[in-house]
Chain A
């Protein structure tokens, strides 16, 4: 059983398109995250949700919109994709509100915008 699963694993799309990445966790955690890993492998948080409520929103373009239908799911929708959006996007989850424990990561979604 995969603890944090993301789909798709690879996504190739053209500039200007809209795409979504889905994430599900079966760990019973209350908090879920999206992290972005750029071409230099640098990891940075984008969003955090706790029980479907947005609690962390870093400086991310409005084209990125997270949605959490329930606490086990956190999806990422990206509008009007740009070349600079090419990266690996990681979903993660942790217990509580994420203040005192580790995060568990999914396998990542490699997004390539052409």
Chain B
């Protein structure tokens, strides 16, 4: 079965420092991968997605992620974080069955940006 593992439950970082949120997936077939962000008491917003093509994907708010097939990883990075980036981040893989699909989420990583 396909699964997603987010290796860090919490990542504290100082403002303007770089950050990397780690995500590994297990899949024996081609994968579609996503990062979503959830701000406090809000819904999930798509940060970026990998469907095909370039393995370096750029998203909103200065985030980017790199798809690494050999390491089955899709780590999220930002070179300089802001206080407003404090939120819960979810990595997800799209599991397809025929022409239908569903998202399998990781456990989430809480990014805490300190002043």
- The residues of A with any CB-CB pair to B shorter than 8 Å are 4, 31, 33, 35, 40-45, 48, 50, 55-56, 90, 92, 94, 96-108
Contacts and interface: CB of A to CB of B under 8 A. Distances in A.
B101 A42 contact: no
A99 B105 contact: no
Given A92-B44, A104-B46, A107-B42, 14 more contacts: A31-B100, A48-B100, A56-B102, A97-B101, A98-B94, A98-B100, A99-B99, A99-B101, A102-B34, A102-B46, A102-B49, A105-B43, A105-B44, A106-B43
B74 interface: no
A100 B32 contact: yes
Contacts of A104: 46
Secondary structure dominating the interface of B: strand
Contacts of A31: 100
A65 to B, nearest CB: 19
Interface in B14-48: 32, 34, 36, 38, 42-46
B66 interface: no
Given A104-B46, A105-B43, A41 B88 contact: yes
Complex A-B, nearest 4 residue pairs according to Cβ-Cβ distance, in ascending order = A99-B101, A105-B44, A98-B101, A43-B105
Contact of B103 (A40, A41, A103): A103
19 contacts: A33-B102, A40-B107, A42-B105, A45-B103, A45-B104, A48-B102, A50-B100, A90-B43, A97-B99, A97-B100, A98-B94, A99-B96, A99-B99, A100-B32, A101-B32, A102-B46, A105-B44, A107-B42, A108-B42
Contact of A42 (B94, B100, B108): B108
Nearest to A91: B43
Contacts of B99: 96-97, 99
B106 to A, nearest CB: 9
B67 interface: no
B100 A99 contact: yes
A35 B102 CA distance: 10
Interface in B44-96: 44-46, 49, 51, 88, 90, 94, 96
